[in-house]
Amino acid sequence: MKIVSCGSSFFSISPAHPGTHLTEIVARELGAELISFAKPGSSNFAIRLQLETAIKLKPDLILFEFTNAPKIDLPLSVLGQEHEYNFNKGIHNIKYTGYENVVPKNIYVNNASFISDGIKNFITGECFQENTALTRNSRDALKMWFTELYDEPLKEHQDYFVCSSVFLPLEQSQIPYVWSRGDLCMFDWSMYKNEVPEEGNPWINWTDTGELSVYHTTPERQQELAQYWLETYRKL
């Protein structure tokens, strides 16, 4: 059995706590191989690309979560790198920013064209070291755009449409899947099946441990979350 998981930091494997993420626990319980495409800082568009690649792999199960709206994608020109975006390359467009080793080398090829992260992280460079390399002009332009032009409800609705676009290809693929809406809780998702119960949403009632655990919660919390995902899978 093969499982592919997709998402942002809440769905990312933690190098500091190996084997403790809910996707790792689910795979272990099911005796499955796990391939994780999840990456800290991923936008919903990046997650959609992860899912596009996951479907092409034809695994036995796909696990995924969506993220929050204030994550954006910038071309690598902001880091002094030039790679043109290619809509045929799916996940290969995403710069994994120090997380390349998570994705198997036979699947992931570093030919990235854009980088995802939270808007604040891009401006301050607090999250990933590479983001401090934004040129001064790029950072100033981003600050100006954020303060003068960014509208979060608009971005949330755009992200909702990006996220909901994956369900038709998932259904057409006939690959079993289990998912969570992440922080996009303001929309009606009832038409989409296989969602974990609200208590299994990693974004709900999470506690930041103050450590660099990547997935923002304790390993004990991950054990609890894994049970909701397992129960949902077993009801498919």
Banded model confidence at residue 123, pLDDT cuts 50, 70, 90: confident
Compute how many other C-beta atoms are within 10 angstroms of the C-beta atom of residue 59: 22
- In angstroms, the CA 59 to CA 71 distance is 28
What is the predicted pLDDT for the residue at 214?
A: 84
- In angstroms, the CA 91 to CA 152 distance is 26
Q: Is pLDDT above 80 for 211?
A: no
Query: How many residues are there in the chain?
Result: 236
Percentage of the chain lying above the pLDDT 70 cut: 89
Q: Is pLDDT above 80 for 101?
A: no
What is the predicted pLDDT for the residue at 210?
A: 62
Mean of pLDDT over the chain: 90
What is the predicted pLDDT for the residue at 84?
A: 87
Compute how many other C-beta atoms are within 10 angstroms of the C-beta atom of residue 169: 13
- R_g (Cα) of the chain, nearest Å: 17
Banded model confidence at residue 42, pLDDT cuts 50, 70, 90: very high
DSSP E strand boundaries for the chain:
2-6, 33-36, 61-65, 71-75, 114-118, 177-180
Answer whether 202's CB lies under 8 Å from 22's CB: yes
For 59-86, write each residue's pLDDT tens digit: 999 999 999 999 999 998 887 777 889 8
Provide the residue type at 123 as one letter. I
For 177-205, write each residue's pLDDT tens digit: 999 999 999 999 999 999 999 999 999 98
Is 152 exposed, middle or buried, given 0-12, 13-18 or 19+ CB atoms closer than 10 A? Answer: exposed
Q: How far is CA 228 from CA 195, 197, 210, 233, in A?
A: 10, 7, 25, 9
